[in-house]
Structures are given as structure tokens and as C-alpha cells.
Amino acid sequence: MKIRFLAGCVLAAALLALGGCMQLHSTTIVNKDGSGTVTMKISLSQSVAEALKEMSELDPDSDQKMPDFSSIDRDEMEKAAKKHGVKITKFSKGDQDGHMILDLGMEFKDLKGLSYVMDHAMGEGGNDGMGIFDAGDGNLVLRSTQYDFPTDEDEKSVEVESEMPDTSDMDPAKMQKMMELTGKLMGAISEMDVRLEITVPGDIVSSNAPQTEGRTSIWSINSSNMMTAGQNTEPEIVFSGKGLKIKPQTD
């Protein structure tokens, strides 16, 4: 599974890829003109971060790279944001009670710009994102989409994979260490705590979220429901376009 930082629904797949070793609370609010705000708080235990780093060091030539929490950089995000109508309103990264914490806030002009920043500055650079499209009958739909973002040699695009490195050519000692690290990650699965919220500017007609409150769609994922809830984390929210000033995107 590739780690995807989808705007608004961001990081659910990333969290699952880490084996449930993370906490994430994310709130996306879309305004009547398609602009909006995102707030996000991510927490990753130091022990898990160290295990992931050790895994990468055991197989440095592998195409399947372990995620590096520390690589999320404000300067890189600011560079991407400036070009795509996004403003970083909050960026705080540090340690607290044995966990690495990222507290992030952004304002965006449209979901395409936000998708670029989230995917290229924080994610895999795979052009994944969200957009708002015409759903017919005067309705709009907020859903996942693929963009064709321009490449920039000065901007980072990191390919991240969740599968364990190929151990077929490893010596027994390295293989044993890899198994120990995998066990450590699986042992941290009880830490999983995800809450993703997306609020749209019109009345909801339908939503694939397990829970809705007014115009807000909510996904809650933890160790007890991760195998089922994690399969439906890419949003599809149909809502009324009445009185809105949003120009629908086209594929």
C-alpha cells in the first residue's frame, strides 16, 4: 500500500501503512467558494519512528522505503504552498511524552492546490488528491481524483511503500533483526486513533463516511475496526450546490 496524503482525508492510508502506530486528527472545512481550511495533528511514538528508521538502514537499496516522519519540512511545504494558493497558518513539530508531534494548519483557495501541497510536500508525489465535481441535479460531489501536476526538480517527491523490504537476499542476522522490528510495529497497533472530518458548504445528499453530523462527514479508525474502516477512507460526498460559488472541476 502506498502512503497517500489526500487532502482532507489525509493520512488514513498512511496510518494503516504504519501498522496502526500513529494518532491522527484532521479537520477540513470547505467554504461556499471552494476555498477552505485544514487543521491536522499527527502523533508517532519515538520507538516506532526508530524501528522504521532501522528498517530502512537494514535495506538501504530497496525501492520500498519506510516513511520518515522527520522529513516533513516547513520550508518545503511553504515553497509548494506559495505556488498553489495555499497558506501555512500553523506548523509545529516536536517531542511530547515519547511521541513525535506535528501540528499543522493551512488555508487554501481550492482543493487542487491543497492536494498538491499535501501530496508533494508530505506524501508520495503520486498526483493523488481531492476535487469538487458536478454530480448532476444541481448537486456537487467532493471525491478523490488524479491530477497531472507539473514536476519541479527543486521540489521533493518521495515514493513511499508500506510493505516490508524483500528479505530474500538478506543474511540471517539481518533477517532476524527485520522480524524483530516488524514485531515491534505490530505490537504498537493499539495506539491507532484516527478521526477525519470533512465539512462541505451545502446540505449532504449522500456520503460514504460511516458517520455524518449536519454537513460534516466523519471517519473514525482504531485498532478494533482498522481492517474494515480503512477500506473506505477516500471520500465521496454528494452535496447541494444551491447558493454556492464553486466552479466544478472536470476530469
* Beta-carbon count within 10 A of 183 CB: 11
Q: What is the mean pLDDT of the chain?
A: 78
pLDDT given for residue 61 in this prediction: 60
In a domain, 1, yes or no: no
Total structural domains within the chain: 1
In a domain, 221, yes or no: yes
pLDDT tens digits, one per residue of 20-53: 457 889 999 999 999 999 999 988 877 777 776 7
66: domain range? 12-240
In a domain, 247, yes or no: no
In a domain, 6, yes or no: no
pLDDT given for residue 136 in this prediction: 97
pLDDT tens digits, one per residue of 157-199: 444 444 444 545 557 887 887 787 777 666 666 777 889 999 9
In a domain, 3, yes or no: no
pLDDT given for residue 40 in this prediction: 92
In a domain, 7, yes or no: no
**60 — pLDDT class (breaks 50, 70, 90):** low
pLDDT tens digits, one per residue of 97-149: 878 898 999 999 999 999 998 877 665 556 778 999 999 999 999 999 988 87
In a domain, 246, yes or no: no
pLDDT given for residue 161 in this prediction: 43
In a domain, 251, yes or no: no
Tell me which of 42-51, 212-221, 227-236 is least confident: 227-236
pLDDT given for residue 122 in this prediction: 62
